[in-house]
Amino acid sequence: MSAAPLTVIAIITAQEGQESALRALQEKLVAETRTEDGCLRYELNQSLDDGRILIFVETWETEAKWRAHIDGAALANFAAAGGGALIADKVIHRLTQVA
């Protein structure tokens, strides 16, 4: 794992008709995550072309701190609230800046 900052793009597609419920849980997730150690940027965006698509843009001090987030309380709370059942699809891209 690199010690360089890590950017993550997470593209989440809500189950049909669950856009509002998923977005509400994700907004809570954003508020909790922004206080986590190593979180430099954590924002939620919604597609203007397809309201079912919500995209997280994240930057973490290191990949290790992002991995701690994956196993941390904020995502556990999201899962406990039923967030996973509202998701039809997700794609996660881990990125490193090249230029």
Residue 57: per-residue pLDDT: 98
Helix, strand or coil, per DSSP, at residue 46: strand
Torsion of CA 93, 15, 78, 26, to 10 degrees: 70
Residue 71 lies inside a defined structural domain of this protein:
yes
How many angstroms separate the CA atoms of 3 and 86, rounded? 34
pLDDT over 90, % of the chain: 92
Average pLDDT over residues 74-91: 98
Residue 91 lies inside a defined structural domain of this protein:
yes
Number of domains in the chain: 1
Residue 34 lies inside a defined structural domain of this protein:
yes
Through-space distance between the first and last CA atoms of the chain, rounded to whole angstroms: 20
Residue 79 lies inside a defined structural domain of this protein:
yes
In this structure, the number of other CB atoms found within 10 A of the CB of residue 47 comes to 12
How many angstroms separate the CA atoms of 82 and 99, rounded? 39
Q: Would you place residue 97 in the very low, low, confident or very high pLDDT band (cuts 50, 70, 90)? A: confident
Residue 68 lies inside a defined structural domain of this protein:
yes
Residue 39: which domain range?
6-95
Task: Check which CATH number belongs to the domain holding 13 and give it.
Answer: 3.30.70.100
Residue 1 lies inside a defined structural domain of this protein:
no
Residue 12 lies inside a defined structural domain of this protein:
yes
